[in-house]
Amino acid sequence: MSEQVMNETYAPKRSYWNFFMSELKPRGNVWTVFNMISVPVVILAAVLIVIRFIYGLSAVSNVTQSVPWGLWKGFNVVTGVAFAGGAYVLTFMVYILGMDKYKPLVRVTVLNGFLAYTFYAIALILDLGKPWNIINPIIGNSFGTSSILFLVAWHFMLYIVAQLVEFSPTVAEWLGSERARRNLKRLTIGAVVFGITLSTLHQSGLGALFLMAKGKIHPLWYSEFIPTLFFISSIFAGLSMVIFQGSILQKVFAYQMEQHSDEKHNIMIRGLSRVCAIAMFAYFFLKVIDMVHNHTLGYLMSPMGAWYLVEMIGFVLIPMILFVYGTRVGTPFLIKLASLMTLLGIVLNRMNVSVIAYRWDELPRYIPSWMEIVVTVSILFVQIWIFRWVIHRMPVLRTMESMTATSPKS
């Protein structure tokens, strides 16, 4: 983009204050089905969160001393981190491997990853019996600087910063600051390399936390390779989220898409589906080898074994085959179906490891309360609100030249 075009694009029109006030105004019809459902849920969740902080975690949650990780950690954190894995995989493919055809997906994927990590950190605070003790793993107090939790906490925080730096040129464009955009752009490669390193470490580090729960997790889900399994699964989970999310964006934000964007999107998801299929094969093969090595095949004849087969065959093997077949015949529907099944499979696996297969032989079983479910859903709703707000206003899916909103002086 030439200097003249940049100056015209970022021409000052209003003050910052007027600009921000105008950007906060809703755009389009606010009486949508999604808004009418999400607003009451979020308001109810806000009340429940107040109750939680006044009367304690037990007032809204069914977690116990023996089952300390419930829905908020199992879904919002353990599962959500895997879904956000598309950011580090895609930036690696684009900036390190030079696969520029996927570059249109980078900004929206990084945005999704940044919001996911930020909101899941908030969810983590909600699930701590004493929220103020969240500082302990950060400073190494009580745990020590050599603990896995200390490493995961720092990787988590630093990766949020790295994603913010990666996305910051988009914010600079939105604000109309060409100088800031140029300067921040120079930091992108460094932030990408730093972010990829951190993400690979904390994806596997999150799995390493469960190494300390041997004897508490069912043998079919416990493994010495669980850090590697968490890392590999984050690859196809993250890319499946990119495929699934991209398909929705093609419909919801069609007015922002370029001409023939459907064809370009289908080409990109075919390439991503190949990576998913390869990663899923590695994951499935390693799981089989692990069962043989640990002599856990006999557990397949038990009720928990049947549940394990549902996860492995229904949500790993079958979507892997769909990815392969969809890529070969060029059928976007099969690829999108496979991505949806994969996401459901990741939810099932991470919930199995952290909740369902944890203390599986203990009664009474942990069942999340309706209040836990409401808060979990509300976190997703608020994340979608902010994601939608950013997409409508910032150059995430489109360039600044095509945007009609005016920008303030830098």
pLDDT digits (tens, 9 = 90+) for 37-58: 999 999 999 999 999 999 999 8
Residue 218 confidence (pLDDT):
95
**Cα 103 to the chain's mean position, in Å?**
19
Confidence of residue 1 (pLDDT cuts 50, 70, 90): very low
- What CATH superfamily classification does 30-392 receive? Formate dehydrogenase/DMSO reductase domain (1.20.1630.10)
Token pair belonging to 228: 């590697």
Q: State the burial class of residue 398 (Cβ atoms within 10 Å of its Cβ: 0-12, 13-18, 19+).
A: middle
Q: What percent of the chain lies above the pLDDT cut of 70?
A: 92
pLDDT score of 408 more than 50: no
Question: What pLDDT shows up at residue 121?
Answer: 82
φ, ψ at 403 (rounded to 5°): -85, 140
Confidence of residue 21 (pLDDT cuts 50, 70, 90): confident
pLDDT of residue 399: 61
Averaged pLDDT for residues 272-295: 96
Contact criterion met (CB below 8 Å) for 276 and 339: yes
Q: Where are the domains of the chain?
A: 30-392
Q: Calculate the average pLDDT of the chain.
A: 88
Please report the pLDDT score of residue 364 as a whole number: 83
The residue that leads in pLDDT, 348 or 399, is 348
pLDDT digit string (tens) for 135-194? 888 887 777 777 888 888 898 899 999 999 999 999 999 888 889 999 999 999 999 999
Task: Say if residue 74's pLDDT is above 60.
Answer: yes
Please give the structure tokens belonging to residue 355.
């909740």
pLDDT band at 259 (very low <50, low <70, confident <90, very high): low
d(CA 142, CA 369): 31
pLDDT of 272 higher than 50: yes
Contact 148, 163 (CB under 8 A): no
String of DSSP letters for 55-98: H-GGGT----SSS---HIIIIIIIIHHHHTTHHHHHHIIIIIS-
95: pLDDT strictly greater than 80 = yes
pLDDT at 8 over 90: no
d(CA 408, CA 187): 23
Q: What CA–CA distances, in Å, run from 43 to 48, 58, 124, 128, 379?
A: 9, 20, 20, 22, 11
